[in-house]
Every structure is written in C-alpha cells, then in structure tokens.
Amino acid sequence: MPRPEIAIRSARTADVRRIRELVQPLAESRVLVSKEWVSYYEGVQEFRVAEVDGEVAGCGALHVMWEDLAEIRTLAVAQELLGSGVGSTLLSALLDDARELGVRRIFCLTFETEFFGRHGFSEIEGQAVDPEVYAELLRSYDEGVAEFLDLERVKPNTLGNTRMLRLL
C-alpha cells in the first residue's frame, strides 16, 4: 500500500464523533474498551488525530498517570488504512508529546503486541511502579489506571491483553 500524506494535529471537540466511529468497531470486537460520549469530550485534549486527504483517519491519546508515566490509549485507524503508516505516525506524535511533558515511561494495554514491539515497547509482568506510587494510583477513579494496576475489577475488559512498556 502506498504511504498516504498524513497530517497529525490535536483533536478538537468537532472530531469526537469521528473518533468514536473509528473506535466503535474495535470496541464491539473487544479490542478497545468502549467509552461513553462524555469520556471522549472530557479527554479530547489528550487526543491527536491523523488526517488523510483532509479526513480524520486515525486517533490516539496520551494519558498522564504519574510524574514519569503515561499511557497510550485509544489508538485506532480506519480499517482501509491499516498498514499505511497512520498508526505509526500517530504513535510517534504521542511519544513526542510524552517527551515534551517530561514523561519517561509509556504504558499500553494491547492485543497489538507486534505493532507496539516494533516501536520499542516490551511486555511487562508485575507492577511498573514503586509501592508508594501504586498506593497513590489506587485512589484514581480512572479505569485505565485500574487496567495499568491490573486490578481484578477490570479483568473482564482486559482478558487476553498484554501489558507493555517503553522507556523514552
């Protein structure tokens, strides 16, 4: 597949409908966690979108969890553009955002281990934070943090996913 011209930009509230359209089939097949509309609007500032031919063709979010730790979330690409570089370009932009924020460890929970492995992520076992940080993160209401902590209450949504980490 020829590599399309890809433009990455910060998401806007007007992009939320398209972001949800990109995520919906992946949520239905349990590849990504389904979210309520309000969650997308609340987190729109965390998202980047990829445009191809002026249309939003992919999305991804960077969610800061701690001083040096963030999560790549909701990385999705239009089905017809899989393998075209849209996902890699988005991930690269999100990693640049992490560097700019001073984050040095990037977490993801994924079925796409080959994709993330090609981008420097490695599978992890156990906890990636100190016990003191773990105790603080337990206070979060965010489901993604619960997934990172591997809490029992999120197990049905995360069965088969692999926990991966990349150091910047």
Domains of the chain: 6-167 (3.40.630.30)
pTM: 0.86
pLDDT (tens digit per residue) in 79-112: 999 999 999 999 999 999 999 999 999 989 899 9
Question: What is the DSSP code (8-state) at residue 22?
Answer: H
pLDDT in tens, 112-128: 999 999 999 999 876 66
Measured CA to CA, the distance from residue 133 to residue 151 in angstroms comes to 15
Which residues face 88 on adjacent strands? Answer: none
What sections of 37-118 are H helices per DSSP?
37-42, 86-101, 113-118
